[in-house]
Amino acid sequence: MATATKERPVETKTDQTNQNQDILNVKNLEIFYGEKRAVNGISMDIEKNSVTALIGPSGCGKSTFLRSINRMNDLISGARATGDIIYENLNILSDQINVVALRKEIGMVFQKPNPFPKSIYENITHALKFAGTRKKSELDKIVEESLRKAALWDEVKDRLHKSALSLSGGQQQRLCIARTIAMKPTVMLLDEPSSALDPISNAKVEDLIVDLKKDYSIIIVTHNMQQASRISDKTAFFLSGDLIEYDLTEKIFTNPSVKKTEEYISGRFG
Ligand SMILES: Nc1ncnc2c1ncn2[C@@H]1O[C@H](COP(=O)(O)OP(=O)(O)O)[C@@H](O)[C@H]1O
Ligand SMILES: [Mg+2]
């Protein structure tokens, strides 16, 4: 596959390694904004090539947790994290991590589609060029591959050089997913990626996510419990910064072990 040699996201390694089927092992993770603790010492193992859903009421720490995985909280002044997030025998929270390289391996897609005000083609090639891929034939190939994987190619192949802003919201969100795919990540973090979309676009994004887990490990925040139950393999229920219950999605939605989970999924609060 035509790709530049990947810069590793770290200079030194930990002596910890992932458990067999896991892509991430989170251990006793606490996240603070100033004095306020938003995530209260949670531990969870995230499986490779699976979809993990994070659910829970607004403000319970889902986005904070998700952003810690590719160090996006670094951009928030006063935010800090303690504990371990082990990824391929690296500790993501180590101050030796090269966060630019890390974010290529652990990509993120946000709630509101945020394409650059450039062409569809340039949206995908921008970061690749920055990372040193210059050959047109190679860029063309990655653009097509990424758009195909994001189930957008057929809709845009005849207008690759038109503005990304001319696309519908649902198409823009699939473009943002394609842009992430182009970086050849191993993990994709999705923060309510379809909540701003119409039902048809939402269905397309959901189908896409299920399809993508062949190649990637996906963690998705959703406030939509039907969505979590449709697309995820495991579900984590957060409440006030605590991880209340984490299990197979089917178990969480049919026979949860904790009363609070049952109350939440049956719509009694949140
Ligand atoms: N940038 C920030 N600065 C300070 N506090 C924040 C910031 N972002 C989130 N918080 C606080 O952290 C807690 C968890 O928020 P968040 O992770 O956004 O929850 P969720 O995504 O589950 O709605 C909330 O109390 C929220 O007010
Ligand atoms: Mg959030």
SS (H, E, C) 137-185: HHHHHHHHHHHHHCCCHHHHCCCCCCEHHHCCHHHHHHHHHHHHHHCCC
Give the pLDDT of residue 12: 62
Model confidence at 248, pLDDT cuts 50, 70, 90, reads very high
* Residue with CA at minimum distance from ligand 1 atom 21: 63
Q: Ligand 2: distance of its center to the CA of 154 in Å?
A: 32
Evaluate: CB of 222 within 6 angstroms of ligand 1.
Answer: no
Give the pLDDT of residue 3: 41
pLDDT digit string, tens, across residues 28-62? 999 999 999 999 999 999 999 999 999 999 999 99
Best residue among 40, 64, 237 to mutate for probing ligand 1's pocket (most ligand atoms within 8 Å of CB) is 64
* Residue with CA at minimum distance from ligand 1 atom 27: 59
Q: What is the DSSP string of 76-117?
A: STTEEEEEEEEETTEETTSTTB-HHHHHHHEEEE-SS----S
Integer CA distances (angstroms), 4 to 11, 48, 51, 140, 186, in order: 19, 24, 28, 15, 16
Q: Which atom of ligand 1 is nearest to the CA of 191?
A: 21
221 close to 54: Cβ distance less than 8 angstroms: yes
Q: Ligand 1: distance of its center to the CA of 58 in Å?
A: 9
Q: Ligand 2: distance of its center to the CA of 170 in Å?
A: 20
Best residue among 31, 33, 67 to mutate for probing ligand 1's pocket (most ligand atoms within 8 Å of CB) is 33
Whether 174 shows a pLDDT value over 50: the answer reads yes
Q: Ligand 1: distance of its center to the CA of 6 in Å?
A: 33
Q: Ligand 2: distance of its center to the CA of 111 in Å?
A: 9
**Both tokens of residue 78?**
């006063």
Give the pLDDT of residue 6: 56
Evaluate: CB of 171 within 6 angstroms of ligand 1.
Answer: no
Whether 8 shows a pLDDT value over 80: the answer reads no
Whether 1 shows a pLDDT value over 50: the answer reads no
Evaluate: CB of 76 within 6 angstroms of ligand 1.
Answer: yes
Strands ordered across the beta sheet of 36-47:
36-47, 22-33, 79-87, 90-91
- 25 φ, ψ to 5°? -120, 115
Average pLDDT, integer, range 71-87: 97
186, with CB counted inside 10 A (0-12, 13-18, 19+), is middle
Domain 22-266 in this protein, CATH class: alpha beta
Model confidence at 135, pLDDT cuts 50, 70, 90, reads very high
Lowest mean pLDDT among 3-12, 81-90, 168-177, 183-192: 3-12
Residues bordering ligand 2, an ion, CB closer than 5 Å: 63
pLDDT above 90 covers a percentage of the chain that reads 83
Evaluate: CB of 62 within 6 angstroms of ligand 1.
Answer: yes
Q: Ligand 1: distance of its center to the CA of 255 in Å?
A: 29
